[in-house]
Structures are given as C-alpha cells and as structure tokens.
Amino acid sequence: MSAKLAILFYSTYGTNHRMAGIAADAARTAGAEVRLRKIAETAPDEVVNGQEAWKAQVERMADIETATPADLEWADAYLFSAPTRFGQAPSQVRAFIDTLGGLWSAGKLADKPVSAMTSAQNLHGGQEATILGLYTTFLHWGSVIVPPGYTDPVLYKVGGNPYGYSHTQGDEFDDAACEAIAHQTRRLVRMAEKLSA
C-alpha cells in the first residue's frame, strides 16, 4: 500500500521550495503518492513586489497549488519545510496552521506521522528552535513525530541535526544535502506505510 504524503512548504527566496522538491522526488521514488503544496503568501503585494528576489520566487511557484486543510485530511503523513524567522516558523506557516482547527478538533490530524525541515541565513540562526516549535504544534495535534534522528551516516556530513534537515542559506545543495533530505523523507514514508497497514 503506497503512502499518501503531503509536502507543505513556504519559501521566500527558493531554498525551501528546492528542499520540498528534493523531498517530493525521494518520496515518489519510495513509492508514495505526493501532493506538493505551497503555503499561501500573506505579506502585502507591495512588500513582495518591492524585493526582486522575493517577487521572482513567487513567480517560480505560480504553477504549484496552494495548501488547504483538505490536503492534510487526504494525507497519511505530512512533511513541512519552512525558513526560520527569528527562531520560529514564519507567520505565513502559522497562519496556515491556524486554519486547521476544524480538522484538529475532529481528530483528523491525529495518529499521522509528520516531520519538518527548515533553513536560515546562518548556521546558528534558530533552525533547531524552528523545527522544535513546529513539533510542539504537531504534539497538540496528536501526530507521530518522525525526525531523522541519528539513523544514517549522511546526517554527520550535514551538521548532525537529529531533529530535521536544516539548510544554511547560500550553501550548495550537494549530494550530502540531497541525501539527508531524501533519507528523512524515506523514513517518514516508511512510517506512514507501517501506520496505514
């Protein structure tokens, strides 16, 4: 039985878009059915359009469907990818999470595996705090948190983060980075398959 994985990402300049794409490819290779969804932009148009890189990223994602609560209800598992903003997930992600009260109160987010990834401008820019903050939300949902842990040697090549992959803005997506994302995704898919069996 193939798992249904919703990959939900927010990306200002493209890093988390790239991470989500790598994860989607890995999940499909592992046999999962994937919905890749962007989280809606809530910043005012004049702010977005005032920064060429931000505006260009919005245009690059124009063909990707926007995440809705229905995507989480559909899924057997979730993977969130979002940048760090002052040590937390950005307001766009929190706004999306705030739309999930109906699903949460009906128990439709419970017992599903979930994992998270992030990025920041510098190596110690709050990545772990961002992932752990998302995990606190997932605990309230009753979801089953599936971190990468120290379950593959590749994790030591990308900083050894057991909570979830984190990327430093501007670094290349080398083989180790791509494999760390793929490993975390495959682990999540395997857990979803086990829980759905």
Q: How many domains does one find in the chain?
A: 1
Domain that holds residue 123: 4-196
The average pLDDT across 184-191 equals: 98
Split at pLDDT 50, 70, 90, the class of 158 is confident
CA distance 89 to 27: 23
- Nearest CA among 164, 160, 148 for reference residue 116: 164
C-beta of residue 76 within 8 angstroms of C-beta of residue 195: yes
* The two three-digit tokens of residue 59, written as one number: 């245009």
What's the whole-model pTM score?
Answer: 0.96
Query: Which tens digit of pLDDT belongs to each residue from 106-141?
Result: 999 999 999 999 999 887 788 999 999 999 999 999
Tens digits of residue pLDDT in 43-77: 999 999 999 999 999 999 999 999 999 999 999 99
Quote the mean pLDDT of the chain.
95
Q: What is the CATH number of the domain that holds 77?
A: 3.40.50.360
